Amino acid sequence: MDNPQPLDRVARIQADWRRERPDLDMSPQGVIGRLHRLANRLTEELRLVYGRYGLSEGEFDVLCALRRAGEPYERAPGELAAHTMVTTGAMTKRVDRLEQAGLVTRRRSDDDQRGRIVALTKPGRALIDQAFTDHMRNERRLLSLLTPAEAKALEGLLTTWISHVEKPCPPDIK
């Protein structure tokens, strides 16, 4: 006789709710609850890499957005906020910290003297190139827990689902 797989935390929570509220369909909790737990766990694993480089998750995102911009590796603060999906106030704090660390600089915009431009410094570029290499190695390690077919199927499902939940990304946002 086959031994049933032990119940994970979400399944135990669902079982408790089914007992307490048999009038409700608990099936959404099986997907949403597991995605939530997985997202939290993945974030913990990703932050380990950022921390090795003295970066927070947000600072890592800013450096990545600048590096992805291509030479001369710079963007206006509003662009950075759009590319990292944070408010301009939160962006200011991140850029302040990165500037103090010598990883970015700020200068006046050539086009608009009131505007500012944030740019990667040489040490900032070297740091993000190494940190991003380690980040991708870490993501590959995490994804290797699935077979290639499972990973591809999951990517397809998540792509479809997110297309129904999020507004389309403007073409100039990468």
Residues 6+ apart with CB under 8 A from 66: 73, 74, 75, 80, 104, 118, 119, 120, 124, 128
Tens-digit pLDDT profile for residues 14-69: 999 999 999 999 999 999 999 999 999 999 999 999 999 999 999 999 999 999 99
Tens-digit pLDDT profile for residues 92-129: 899 999 999 999 999 987 776 567 899 999 999 999 99
Tens-digit pLDDT profile for residues 135-149: 999 999 999 999 999
Kindly list the structural domains of the chain, giving each domain's residue range(s) and its CATH number in brackets, ordered by start. 9-52 (no CATH), 55-165 (1.10.10.10)
For CA atoms 103, 104, 105, 106, give the dihedral sign. negative
Q: What is the pLDDT of residue 123?
A: 98
Check pLDDT > 60 for residue 166.
yes
The residue type of 141 is R
